[in-house]
Every structure is written in structure tokens, then in C-alpha cells.
Amino acid sequence: KKDKDKQLRTPIVSVLGHVDHGKTTLLDKIRKGRVTAKEAGGITQHIGATEIPIEMIKNICKDIWRKEVELPGLLFIDTPGHKAFTNLRRRGGALADLAILIVDINEGFKPQTEEALSILRTFRTPFVVAANKIDKIPAWQSPGFVPFLKSYSMQEDIAKNRLDNKIYELIGKLYEFGFSADRFDRITDFTRNVAIIPISALTGEGVPELLLVLVGLAQRFLEDSLRLHVSGKAKGTILEVKEEKGMGITCDVILYDGTLKVGDRIAIAMRDGVKVTHVKGILKPRPSQEMRLESKFRSVKSVVAAAGVKLIAADLEGVLAGSEFEAIESEKDIEEFRKRLEKE
Ligand code: GTP
Ligand code: NA
Ligand code: MG
């Protein structure tokens, strides 16, 4: 039975894949942003976070949107594909409720595709495969931001055959890694088969179906009763520790469970134990804005998981990116947090 007083959790969707296969470009398409153009050398070097409200997803899906869903939206996590950033890919993978594994359809599997896949397997994260850059398939004619099936139906046989062959190669590769996969429109049970959605992050082809399949998976994930509502203590991961003008040391975090309020005491994992401090301010990026580049944060009294926010707190010296934190009320909570850290 659903409890109206409880708040639904926003699922976290991490985007993983080999360098330059189009993760940030895909997110730019969804959020109508230009993050990719601002990256040094065109390389993502941090974990990004963008909250996409469900209305925005509905607008992209338009005609193919079928049913009402209860999700408030999705929190997308961007990760770097460059080989130097294995730790950030793992962190992005660890945070994910669901994931998009993005593969350049013309290049196929690459080393960091395989690494991302093994991270997803380790965490048992449900995922879909976005077979990106279909607009670059020779003879493919892009009609613009339309569903994949519409675009596909308009293609010459030669382009259709090229795409089909590339998809079969991906299915074969996924099979080698122990996953049964197929093109999304041939799948009936999305919990047993990995859906491959051909897309172009540049033109938008296929992005409506990608979002529709994700929302379907997310809804199923939320219906898993244990994870339906925001529950228990506020828990999160620190992404970056930054000195901000007029605020001192702040940190960008992903809150992945619970509700965090200004005034809450939190315990932060340190290299040699636990630091206890309290939350002096919570700054929220606007919806559809990449947190890393946001300049107009809103100061809020509380925030509900999952969310990417900037925290202002006392005594953040020595806190490291990647550290876990948890809201605490008593000495016992600190002890439990210590025990959780030891286990991990
Ligand atoms: P890292 O974060 O550095 O791993 O890269 P990424 O996976 O985020 O890829 P990014 O979005 O930076 O895209 C790399 C290049 O591919 C950019 O020049 C994009 O414009 C281009 N690109 C991405 N998606 C597509 C697509 O669907 N079609 C075409 N033609 N180019 C694309
Ligand atoms: Na890139
Ligand atoms: Mg990127």
C-alpha cells in the first residue's frame, strides 16, 4: 500500500562508456544544455549530476509516451570515459540505481566499455545500452529529433542493413559477457534482457525510446517495495571539495537516500576515522542544470534523495572526494556508520 505522506525517491541513472562515445552529448540533448562544448579538450574529468523532471522527459517522448508514472524525475550522473578515471567510473557505477551503457555503434566495444560493463556487473545494476552515433552510419539519413523506429522506417535498405549488422555485433559482445540482449522493440521482458536502443545524441533520434525504456525500468525499480520511498537516514557521497567565494570550503555531493536538512549533524568518512560536523547550508542547482557548471544555486532548507547539491558545513578541511557521509543523531549512529564503513 502506498503511503501518501512519504516521498518517492528520484532514481539515479549513471551514464557510463568509453571516452568520446557520447555520454555528455546525450545528456546535453536531454537537458538542452551545452556542457560538452565547455569541457577542456572535450574530455569529461569529473562526475556530473543533472536532475531531469518527469515533465521534461514526457515532452521529449511526446507521441510515444504511453502511461502515467509516479516518478518525480531522474537524476542523471555523467562519468568520464577516459582511461585515467577508473575511480570516478566506479563511483558513478556504485551510485547508480540504473545505468546507460553508451557505445559508439560504429566503433563497437572498447576497453572502457568493457570496464564499465564489469562495474555494472559487480554492483548488479540494471542497465540499457545506447548504441550511439547512428547518424554516422554510411547512407543513414537523419530526419532530426524523432523516435528511432520512425527514423529507421525512413531509411534505405543499405543503411538499415548496416545498422542491423552493428546491433548483432553488440548482441554478440554482450553475450560474451554473459548478458542476453536484443534491440528494445524485440524485447518483452526487460528484467531478463538488456535493451539496446539505437540513438544519435547529436540529432536526438532514438532518445525518446531510450527515455521511455529507462522510465519503465525505473518505475519497476521503484515498485521494488524496499526502494519505493525515501527512507531512513540521509546518506550520500562527496564528489568534490571546493573553496567557494564567501562560503569557505564547500562540497558537491550526491544524496542517495533520506532527507537532509539544514542543521543536521553529519558524519563524514575520513582516511583515519570519522569527522562529525553540521550542515549550515544546502544549495540546489536548478532542474536540468549540470551541477558542476551551475551559477544560480537556490538555497533550500532541506533536500530529498536522490539529488546533487552543494553543502556548506563547518570544518570541511581534509575531507576527500569519494567519501561517504551520513546524517547522525546520536553516538550510536556514529558507531553504526563506522561499522558500515569497515564493511565496505
Ligand atoms: P568523455 O566524457 O570524455 O568520455 O566523452 P563522452 O562520452 O562524454 O563524449 P562526448 O559527449 O564528449 O562526445 C565526443 C564527440 O562525439 C563530440 O565531438 C560529440 O559531438 C560527438 N558525438 C557524440 N554523440 C554523437 C552522435 O550521436 N553523432 C555524432 N555524429 N557525433 C556525436
Ligand atoms: Na569527450
Ligand atoms: Mg563526457
In whole angstroms, what is the distance from residue 3 CA to residue 5 CA? 5
SS3 content of the chain, % helix, strand, coil (to 5): 35, 30, 35
> Which pLDDT band holds residue 307 (cuts at 50, 70, 90)?
very high
For residue 204, list its beta bridge partners: none
Give the residue whose CA is nearest to atom 26 of ligand 1: 133
Known binding-site positions for GTP: 17-24, 78-82, 132-135
pLDDT of residue 221: 77
Q: Which atom of ligand 1 is nearest to the CA of 112?
A: 4
Q: Over the stretch 45-89, which tens digit does the pLDDT of each residue have?
A: 999 999 999 999 999 999 899 878 888 999 999 999 999 999 999
Q: What is the pLDDT of residues 192-247, one digit of tens each?
A: 999 999 999 999 999 999 999 999 999 887 776 456 567 778 999 999 999 988 88
What CA dihedral angle connects 124, 56, 228 and 216, to 10 degrees?
Answer: -50
Which residues have CB less than 5 Å away from ligand 2 (the ion)? 20, 42
Nearest Cα residue to atom 15 of ligand 1: 20
Upstream peptide bond of 306 is cis (omega within 30 degrees of 0): yes
> What is the Å distance from ligand 1's center to 201 Cα?
8
Ligand 2 center from residue 25 Cα (angstroms)? 8
pLDDT over threshold 70, residue 4:
no
Mean pLDDT value across residues 9-38? 97
Nearest ligand 1 atom to alpha carbon 199 = 27
Mean pLDDT of all residues in the chain?
94
For ligand 1, is residue 112 a contact (CB within 6 Å)? no
pLDDT (tens digit per residue) in 96-147: 999 999 999 999 999 999 999 999 999 999 999 999 999 999 999 999 999 9
Q: Which of 156, 160, 155 has the alpha carbon at shortest distance from 143?
A: 155
pLDDT band at 9 (very low <50, low <70, confident <90, very high): confident
What is the mean pLDDT of the segment spanning 31-35?
A: 96
* Closest C-alpha to ligand 1, atom 12: 20
Read off the pLDDT band of 333 (50, 70, 90). Answer: very high
Is there an atom of ligand 1 within 6 Å of 285 CB? no
Ligand 1 and 280: CB distance under 6 A: no
- Asked whether 44 lines ligand 1 (CB < 6 A), one says yes
Q: Whose CA is nearest to atom 13 of ligand 1?
A: 22
Per the CB < 8 A criterion, the answer to whether 251 and 236 are in contact is no
Residue 1 has pLDDT above 80, yes or no: no
Atom of ligand 1 nearest to the CA of 27: 11
Where b means 16+ CB within 10 Å and e means fewer, 325-338 reads bbbbeeeebbeebe
What ipTM does the predicted assembly reach?
1.00
Average pLDDT (304-320) is 95
Tell me the CA–centroid distance for residue 104 and ligand 2, in Å.
12
- Cβ–ligand 1 distance for 292 under 6 Å, the answer no
200 close to 132: Cβ distance less than 8 angstroms:
yes
State residue 228's pLDDT score. 59
Cα separations in angstroms, 323 against 6, 224, 309, 315: 28, 27, 15, 15
333 lines ligand 1 (CB under 6 A): no
Q: How far is the CA of 24 from the centre of ligand 1 (A)?
A: 7
Quote the pLDDT of residue 300. 98
Q: Is 210 in the pocket of ligand 1 (CB under 6 A)?
A: no
Q: Given a cut of 80, is residue 13 above it in pLDDT?
A: yes
80 Cβ inside 6 Å of ligand 1: yes
pLDDT value, residue 208: 98
Would you say 306 and 256 are in contact if contact means Cβ atoms under 8 Å apart?
A: yes
Residue 227: predicted pLDDT: 60
Residue 132: CB within 6 Å of ligand 1? yes
